[in-house]
Structures are given as C-alpha cells and as structure tokens.
Structure 1
C-alpha cells in the first residue's frame, strides 16, 4: 500500500490531463469534443505504445535493487531515458507533418476533422517529454520510490488545468489553447524528473553518458511489451473508429467514457505498479515465495477496488456527464454505456493486477502473445457493432468481452508458475 497509493497519483496524470482537456473543450461544442476524441486517441496511441519505457525499466531496476546493486540499477534506468529521447524525436518527425492525413484516415467527420488536426499537431510537440516522463518514472518505481512521481503529477495536473483554462478562454485560443497548455505542463514535468534522476546518478556514481549497448539492450527487452501495447492500442483505436462511424454524438460520448475508463484503469493499475516493484525486488533477491504471496494479495486488492469503483460509477453517472457536455443527445448515448463500464470493473481489477505482476517478472513474451489473441477475438466482434446495432452500449459490451479474454489468459499464466524466474537479470 505504501507503494500503490502514491503510484495512483502518477499513473492518473495523463488521464487527468485528458479529462481536464475534455471538460474544457467539451463546452466549446460537440464538434470540438469529437475532434478531441479522435486526436487524443491517436496521441495516446503514439505515446502508449512506448509504455514499456516505464514498465520494463521498473522491472529491470527493481531486480538490481533486490540484488543490492544500486549503481547498476540507475545505469539501467539512464539507458531507458536515452532510449525515450530518441524514440520521442522519431515520433515527432513522423507524426508532425502527417497529422492531417492521419486524422482523415481515422474517419473523423468533416466538422470534427479540423479541430482534431489542430490538437494533434500541437500536442505532438509534447511527445518526447511524455516518453522521458515514462522512463524516469520507471527508474523511480524500480528504486521503490512512488512518492516523487506523485508530487510531480500533482504539480503537472494543476499547471495543466490552469494553462488550459487561461489559453482556451482567457486567450481565446479554443482547442489550440488546450493543446498548448498540456504541452507546456508535460515538458515541465519532464525537466523535474530529469533533475531527480540525475541527482541519484551522481550520488551512486552512475554514468550519464549514452551507452549504445545499454540502449540497444533496453530496446530489445521492450520489444515484447511493445507488441503487447500495440495490440492493446489497436483495440482502443478500433473501438474509437467504430464509435466515430456511429455519429458525432456517439464519438463524443465515447470520448467521455474512454476518459473515465482510463482513469479507472490507472487507479487499478496502481496496485500493479506496486507489484512490479515488489515482485522485481523479490525475484532479484531470489525470494520466489515472497513473489507468489505478493501476487495473491494484489489480486485480492484488485477485485475489492474494482467492486468499489464500479459502485461509484453507478452512483455518480448522472452527475458525471454534465461536467463534460450539455448536449442531451450525448448524455442519452453515454448513460447506458457507463453502466456496462461499472459492471466490468471487478474484471478489470484482476486484469490490471495480473498484467503488472507478469511485467514485474519480465514475462513480456507471454504478455505479447496473450494480447495478440485478445485482439484477434475483439476485432471481428467490434466491427459487427455498426451492422448488428446496439450503438455505443453494444460497443462497450464488446470491450468487456475483451477484458474477460485478457483475464483468462493472465490467470492461466500465473497459475502455471512459469513466470517465476529469480536473479538480478533474466
């Protein structure tokens, strides 16, 4: 709990950024909110495919901490940060000139497309900062420090909200002001993280210079998690594309629900983050039984927290929607879909915890294959939603099916015990 509670704050930073953007942009109009829905899905995909920068780094650093080698642990983290900077620059180089084309390919309506392009093009400039934050957060988690990311996340969220409100309404920049406010806040967070990690590197005598072999090793270790994350992002992009084809009210409602779903997911993932750090440390120290016990306890917590979150969604959903839109059509579409989200939270609790446990153990290859299987099951069912009917509610029922498949694949792996490999390195 000492690790999980602070981890919650840092995990929800990006969803909270998105929810703040959604609340502020939503009152500009439905077309602007629909544009934000398309752009944010693309932006989150561009960043989230590299979430291995945090997860793989956490596991690698934690193993070395368990083995008592702090210098090596921080050196491993520095390799991840250098890799993040290189990947961020590459993404900007590709996405910035192609933003308009990508939005068109995603199926945005004529009314929403200009807003989506504006938001995406500006927000792309913050991608390197987001990747640096991911890698540096992984270093601190591996060192069993989740409080520093919490403090940085709180400061970043406050700055983001103030900047967005000021630039959107005060400076009258519209959706562009929301994007600029978020970019500035993200770079501020990245600078703070770098200062913290660099101080730790100097303290333990770890080199700050880029090491080609270390960067290459970090990239190779992250490939299975990249496949896993690409598959998950493909699922979310398919869901958003289906919602976009259901109509502007549906994609606007989907954006609101997806923002909430992301927040709930990261809340559950806070337990998994603690698991990554704890299990990596136990396995690095050769304590297989401690890793098993931690896994069992975290699954129990995941179920309990999922039940509580589901109840809260049911109770608050009538009051939640007016925060993001005044359009009655959007509210009518979103209400029944929110009920599906609420009912699925206990399943999500198990999924996110077991996902984190296997990441902490370095079981990336299995996670990659399991997510590819989930994608194969989800895709044809989701694409049938516009054909068979049911609207956004049916689409989110399909999302629940996806989470159920994930739960079964992860449960079978943890039951097998094959993920338990001890030692400072895999």
Structure 2
C-alpha cells in the first residue's frame, strides 16, 4: 500500500517540539561526561587517560545495544501512526525486560574480562589499572543504562520526548553535583566519577520503570515480542559494532602514541560525541515522524519530512562548525591544564570542526532510514564505510606515525562515505514501505 500526502505539511514547530526535548536527553549524558572529564582532567594525565579508555569501553559495550532505543522507536512509531498506542507502549515494556536481561549479562561479563581487555588496549600498565578500576564500578550501572535506552525508545515512538528529558536531567544533575564531591573532598579520586555515573543511571532508570507501571505496560516477559525485537536489533548491533571497533582502535592507537595523545583524543572525541547528539536530536524527530507517517501509509509526506529535516540538520551543522572554530583557543583549557595534552589537541580539532556540516546530513538521513526500519541497508553501508575507510586509516596512522591527525582523517572519510550512501538511498525511495 502506498499513500499520498492528504494533510498539511509537517511544520517546523512540530519538528522542534520533538527535537528540542530530545536534544536535552541526548546532550545530557555527554554533557555530564564532559563535566566528568573536566573534573578528572585536573587529577593529571594518567587518571584522564584511564577515564578515556574505561569510558570508551563502557560506551562500546552499551552502544552495541542501542537497538533497545532505535529499534524500539521504529516499531512503536509505526504502531502509534496506525492508531494503536496501547500496543506501542506494550512494545516498550517488552524492550525494558530485554534491557534488564541483557544488562545483567553485560555486567557479569564485564566484571570478568575488564582488566584483561583494558590491558590489551592500553599498552601501559598504569593506564590499564586506572581504567579497570573505573570501569568495574561503572559497569554496575549497565542494566540501568539499557532500561533508559528502552524507555527513550518507546516514548519517542509515541512522540513523547518531554518526560524523558525530565528523567535524564534528574539523574545527571544529581550526579554532576556528586562527582566533584566524590572525587575531591571525599577522596575517591577517579573511582568517585564512576560512582557518580552509577547514581545518575539508576535515578533515570527508576523513573522510566515508574512510567511503565503507570501505563500498566510492565507485564510479564513475552518471548515472542522480545525475539522480534532482537531480529531488528541484529542489524543495528552489527552496524554499531563496525564503528565501535573503529573507536576502540582509535583509543588504542592514541594510547600507544602517549598518555597526552590519548587525553587529547578523549577531550576532542567527547566534544564530537556531544555535537553528534545535538545533531541527532533532529534525527530523533525524523525517526518518530517517519515511522508514524509510514504506519499511516502517507508515503509522499514521509519523503517530504525526510528532506525537510535534512535541510535543518545541515544548517545546524554549519552553525556548530563556525562556533567551535571560534572556540578553538579557549574551550580545550576548560578540560585540562596539562601542557602536553593541550599541545596534541590541534591535530584533531580542525578536522572535528570541518566534519560538522557533513555529520548534519548523515545523522538526519540515518534518522529517516531508522524510522523506516531500513536497517539492512544501514548495516551494510556502515560496515563498508567503517572497515573500508575509517579502520585502515587508524592503523596506518599508527604504522606511519601520523598520530591524532591520521585518526581524525579516518573519521572524516567515514562520515563522507556514509553521506554519499544515505543520500543515494533516500533519493531512491525504496525505504518508504508502509504498514504497522
């Protein structure tokens, strides 16, 4: 079935009503990580390197499971667009059960293999020890992180992006206050930042669980639904795995260069994550709107929304590039006063700035295709771009001594090749398949 657009176009106000609260949710976690980085950065280069490596590993472990958010949004948005809200929320309940089971597994495996994995990555025993100490505490929050992913997923699908903002802010504000207190006056040092992370994660997760109880959606696990969610998740896991391998490799190569290079990479990378999630707020709006339009069989309107959001996202990317170019001489000093780390930052900074308009296009169209559940295409192209462009340049930068510049050229090529792929796919219209 193919629909035509019989209603008025989606207004900018409606897009922003979804995107702005989603921006708060997306930005809250990396903003907290930036605060965490600034707090730990003043402990010295080795604790900062430990946070960089431990944080990268935790990010990789949890980012592999973002299907609990993106896949749930795709499924619930179509049901919501078809007028089946109760079923959409029930999907969220089952995604939450799945999050709990998977989160406990991640916690157990992480505790067993944390130190050996970090030792292999770090190449420096002191950095590996610091990272393992941080990671073992932070992993206690793994189930809560995944519950929060699932909660964001179903709420976005029913076009409620305001409540998740309150839930995430409640946890992160509490944690941002606790972090410097735990690190300095109470004397926990690097481990104090991990404790503050766990506090934030369980505060937010408890609020998402409460919302499901209010909706009467936290019923017993239904394995058939969870299995269907895992089938959609398979492609998203493979997609995520490809670039997480690259990010882990980047951290490993930076660590082998020096503790200062790894610290500089951590600062610029966390800023990159922060800006990526700012851009991703429009992609979240795209997921919810595209899923709902296709669920209601309005193909023409779905295509119009896709390009409308892409134009907005490109413009935002240009503005971010101009802003961070202007802040090049000021912003890094908020995160560290270590001269060696500051000397390394320019090798990555200008590539990071140049990437933002390209990222605006890529993330918007990723959101369109995720909303359409076009996960096979996203899986295949992301694998090809990561393993064919990003990863080779990372390891060539190690072999030939290119340092951070080589790593960040690789990330730039990854974004450019992905941009070509998603623009082509969106233009074909093959993703616009209707139905709940």
**In the TM superposition, what is the alpha-carbon distance from 1:95 to its structure 2 partner?**
0.6
**In the TM superposition, what is the alpha-carbon distance from 1:180 to its structure 2 partner?**
0.5
Partner of residue 124, structure 2: 109
Partner of residue 73, structure 1: 88
Distance 2:148 2:259 in 1: 33
- The answer to whether the Cα contact below 8 Å between 2:49 and 2:259 also exists between their aligned partners in 1 is yes
**In the TM superposition, what is the alpha-carbon distance from 1:198 to its structure 2 partner?**
2.1
Partner of residue 22, structure 2: 7
- The answer to whether the Cα contact below 8 Å between 1:39 and 1:103 also exists between their aligned partners in 2 is yes
- The answer to whether the Cα contact below 8 Å between 2:111 and 2:139 also exists between their aligned partners in 1 is yes
- Deviations 1:73-126, CA, capped at 9 Å, x for gaps: 111111111111111011111011221111101124123122101101000100
* Change in 2 beyond 3 A, CA 1:158/1:145: same
**In the TM superposition, what is the alpha-carbon distance from 1:351 to its structure 2 partner?**
0.8
- The answer to whether the Cα contact below 8 Å between 2:212 and 2:218 also exists between their aligned partners in 1 is no
* Change in 2 beyond 3 A, CA 1:248/1:207: closer
**In the TM superposition, what is the alpha-carbon distance from 1:308 to its structure 2 partner?**
0.6
**In the TM superposition, what is the alpha-carbon distance from 1:285 to its structure 2 partner?**
0.3
Distance 1:188 1:321 in 2: 30
Equivalent residue in structure 1 for 2:414, among 367, 380, 402: 402
SS in 1 for 2:337: coil
**In the TM superposition, what is the alpha-carbon distance from 1:387 to its structure 2 partner?**
2.5
Distance 1:108 1:79 in 2: 41
Partner of residue 411, structure 1: 423
SS in 2 for 1:389: coil
Check if 1:361 corresponds to 2:372.
yes
Distance 1:10 1:311 in 2: 24
Equivalent residue in structure 1 for 2:348, among 337, 345, 348: 337
Partner of residue 283, structure 2: 272
Structure 2 gaps, min length 5: 1-15
Check if 1:62 corresponds to 2:73.
no
SS in 2 for 1:111: helix
Distance 2:89 2:69 in 1: 13
- The answer to whether the Cα contact below 8 Å between 2:171 and 2:202 also exists between their aligned partners in 1 is no
Distance 2:143 2:74 in 1: 22
- The answer to whether the Cα contact below 8 Å between 1:163 and 1:182 also exists between their aligned partners in 2 is no
Distance 1:198 1:262 in 2: 32
Distance 2:90 2:27 in 1: 27
Distance 1:281 1:165 in 2: 43
Partner of residue 251, structure 1: 262
Alignment of 1:132-281 (within 5 A): 132-200=147-215, 202=216, 206=217, 208-281=219-292
SS in 2 for 1:210: coil
Partner of residue 379, structure 1: 391
Distance 2:414 2:223 in 1: 38
Could you state the TM-score of these two structures normalised by the residue count of structure 2? 0.94
- The answer to whether the Cα contact below 8 Å between 2:396 and 2:406 also exists between their aligned partners in 1 is no
Distance 1:319 1:376 in 2: 35
Distance 1:329 1:139 in 2: 45
Partner of residue 7, structure 2: none
Q: Which moved more, 1:243-252 or 1:146-155?
A: 146-155
Alignment of 1:270-309 (within 5 A): 270-309=281-320
**In the TM superposition, what is the alpha-carbon distance from 1:349 to its structure 2 partner?**
0.5
Structure 1 gaps, min length 5: none
- Deviations 1:292-333, CA, capped at 9 Å, x for gaps: 011001110111000011111111122111111111111111
Equivalent residue in structure 1 for 2:59, among 44, 47, 66: 44
**In the TM superposition, what is the alpha-carbon distance from 1:207 to its structure 2 partner?**
6.2
Distance 1:13 1:289 in 2: 34
- The answer to whether the Cα contact below 8 Å between 1:16 and 1:157 also exists between their aligned partners in 2 is no
- The answer to whether the Cα contact below 8 Å between 1:15 and 1:259 also exists between their aligned partners in 2 is yes
**In the TM superposition, what is the alpha-carbon distance from 1:155 to its structure 2 partner?**
1.8
Distance 2:208 2:153 in 1: 11
Q: Which runs of 4+ in 1 moved over 4 A?
A: none
- The answer to whether the Cα contact below 8 Å between 1:64 and 1:73 also exists between their aligned partners in 2 is yes
State the superposition RMSD in angstroms.
1.1
Distance 2:214 2:310 in 1: 35
Partner of residue 420, structure 1: 432
SS in 2 for 1:106: helix
Distance 1:85 1:279 in 2: 28
